[in-house]
A and B are shown apart, each in its own frame.
Chain A
């Protein structure tokens, strides 16, 4: 909120910076703090994976960046800043949902891919028309140039027969092809940032692997950064440079991808990793699960939101005080006893 933060300039290689973003939904049953003070940043050209269960606030945070929050959402604080390739700086958090300024950012500097390729494309327009409309809007291309650009983009996302399928309607394409068309649409104006909101969740694993591979290629080819939202650690390991783990509207841990997998410093991250089945390991044993249930959003526990389910919880501390952000080099953990995990790591290298 503070003006002092807004006037600070971002580091040179910084693309996107979120500071203490808060989004609430006033409901009849009470106030839902869907995003409760989220801070993260994305550097130019890097992939930030955001992992969390459904309802942890990861998609809402992405919508706050795009200024596409549902109409009943209330933003109660925080700042979101973007500095795309062009060097301009946008204070996104100050922009209105329908403002001209934010419409220049959407689709142009930030592209977005959605979860459901089946329904995220207009059923009554060809994919070519949808891509052309975007490039005509932001790049001012003529109709013929826009069409050529659409074909080129479809070729870039490895759509088979791009010159013909540019005139195809979404219902004529398979799920994987639709998601490729969606990606072509999102990258049509060479955005500096691509937000991918569970882009592979609705796809089968083979197609998922192809789409991930495609996103990695596009990233290095176009030099764009990606915010990759998912609930799947396996996908994150494949694509992300850094990972943030969200739980009930807060980021509980952020670290480089290796540290997340080999030296997690938050009990929630640890528990999530333990509950991933691994081939050849743990044979014949029950897969560990996280005890308890995700609390309902109207009664988030006091202190650390994870404390009722945490095997390390310290009574009197974890259930009363919100843990601060503790930093270990580039790693951040919101856990009172994160120190403890750092020490045990030095004694015995973490399990693989």
Chain B
């Protein structure tokens, strides 16, 4: 097992180097650079800078150096000094921009992930063990609705309901009066009254799909002979179902749980924009639009690191959970 983990961890290193380089190159690919976008933005506002000024800016920002030099400057600072560079647009260190929003993003995303699993697994198991019952049909309808309705639309509807009928503030995470207030009980209550919409939106979309996956997996497993063997031992239905087929049916969940790590980080961008949530998603979108290459590059690098780590975690979990993989 240790050798297995070690081998996987070593394999991750060249993957990360490769990804970081590719992501840096891709960000540079579109014609123009940050200075071009910046000049365009200024022109829109009726302002302008001269070509010479643009050239000086490029010189100062090091944008004229060969790409390998730029890459090395960027990656060596990250690896050796934990410095993600300077966001050109925000004129602030990338690190502070990202980490500020990261805690909130991780909190919202992990909460919604936990909700998704808490809803999806029992409902999927129930739907499979009571196939074609009234509740199964009901869950199926809800599942397809949840899967079919786009998240941002659901977010808009919930905001409208909250605003029109519940008379609460919607959007953002706090009402204006609490925005800069110190933490207090009222502020927490205020946070919760804002938080339920993103949670419901994110959890329904995720749960709807997972219910279908869990149900299908369970139906496959329930028909297998080892389930009958378990019944023939005198175990009750609950003991049989939760100890045997659920164990096997969870495998696809576990093998994909790692991917939720980068998803947790990037968050649901559209929903976050609609709900005006100060998470990382909208920041990434803006950085990409502005060709703010250090910010966007760091984002993509962090996402890739999370993907690689997540996959590693999934592999290890799956090997721990399913002996057939461990010894293969």
Q: Which residues of A contact B (CB under 8 A)?
A: 66, 68, 98, 103-108, 111-112, 114-116, 119-126, 130, 133-134, 137-138, 169, 171-172, 182, 185-186
Contact = CB atoms under 8 A, between A and B. Distances in A.
B322 interface: yes
A133 B233 contact: yes
Interface in B290-328: 321-324, 327
Interface stretch (B36-44, B110-118, B223-231): B223-231
A120 B229 CA distance: 6
Task: Rank and list the top 9 A-B pairs by shortest CB-CB distance, nearest first.
Answer: A107-B234, A107-B233, A106-B234, A120-B225, A112-B232, A169-B323, A134-B233, A103-B234, A119-B225
18 contacts: A68-B228, A68-B231, A98-B237, A103-B234, A103-B236, A106-B231, A114-B225, A119-B224, A122-B226, A123-B322, A123-B323, A123-B324, A124-B247, A133-B235, A134-B234, A137-B234, A137-B235, A171-B323
Interface majority SS (helix, strand, loop, mixed), chain B: helix
B232 A124 contact: no
B229 A114 contact: yes
B248 interface: yes
A114 B234 contact: no
Nearest to A117: B225
B327 A172 contact: yes
Contacts of B323: 123-124, 126, 169, 171
A98 B236 contact: yes
B226 A123 contact: yes
A106 B232 contact: yes
Given A124-B322, A133-B243, A186-B232, 16 more contacts: A103-B235, A104-B234, A106-B232, A106-B233, A108-B234, A112-B232, A114-B228, A115-B225, A119-B224, A120-B229, A122-B230, A122-B247, A123-B226, A126-B323, A169-B324, A171-B323
B244 interface: yes
Contacts of B225: 114-116, 119-120
A185 B327 CA distance: 24
**Most chain B beta-carbon neighbours within 10 Å: one of A103, A116, A172:** A103
B321 A124 contact: yes
A90 to B, nearest CB: 13
A185 B233 contact: yes
Contacts of B324: 123-124, 169, 171
Given A119-B225, A119-B226, A105 B234 contact: yes
Nearest to A104: B234
**Most chain A beta-carbon neighbours within 10 Å: one of B226, B228, B244:** B226
A23 B237 CA distance: 22
